[in-house]
Amino acid sequence: MNKKNIFDGIPDNLKNELFEDIFSNENIKIERIVSKGHISPESGWYDQNTAEFVVVVQGEAVLSFLDADDVRLKEGDYINIPAHTKHKVSYTSSNPETIWLAIHF
């Protein structure tokens, strides 16, 4: 067992969002995502085969949904996104950077 810290190892300059698998098996994947003003591409939507529970650990973000209102998330806020719910990231803070914990199940 190795102890780690969710705030460690974040590069100063992030050209692209940082996705880091923390744990995964055949039933679940837990990842850390670091966004510094990054957003989803203008065209297309995430349409995942699994549900995704996300919590914002630091910073702020806005999730946009094809068939629902936008949701603003600040530190400590979380949301469960059911499988096949079309969504995208339309805003993330850059100072401080947005740190997410995402659980796919």
Is residue 61 within 8 A of residue 92, CB to CB? The reply is: yes
Is residue 87 within 8 A of residue 65, CB to CB? The reply is: yes
Say which DSSP state 8 is in: T
Residue with the two structure tokens 């996300």: 54
Residue 54, amino acid: V
The domain ranges of the chain are 18-104
Measured CA to CA, the distance from residue 87 to residue 68 in angstroms comes to 9
pLDDT for residue 89: 97
pLDDT for residue 12: 86
pLDDT for residue 66: 95
pLDDT for residue 88: 97
pLDDT for residue 1: 86
| Series of mean pLDDT values for 10-residue runs along the chain (105 residues) | 93 92 97 97 94 98 97 98 98 97 98
Is residue 6 within 8 A of residue 16, CB to CB? The reply is: no
Is residue 59 within 8 A of residue 97, CB to CB? The reply is: yes
The CATH code belonging to domain 18-104 is: 2.60.120.10
Structure tokens, 59? 């910073």
Cβ count within 10 A of residue 49:
7
pLDDT for residue 77: 98
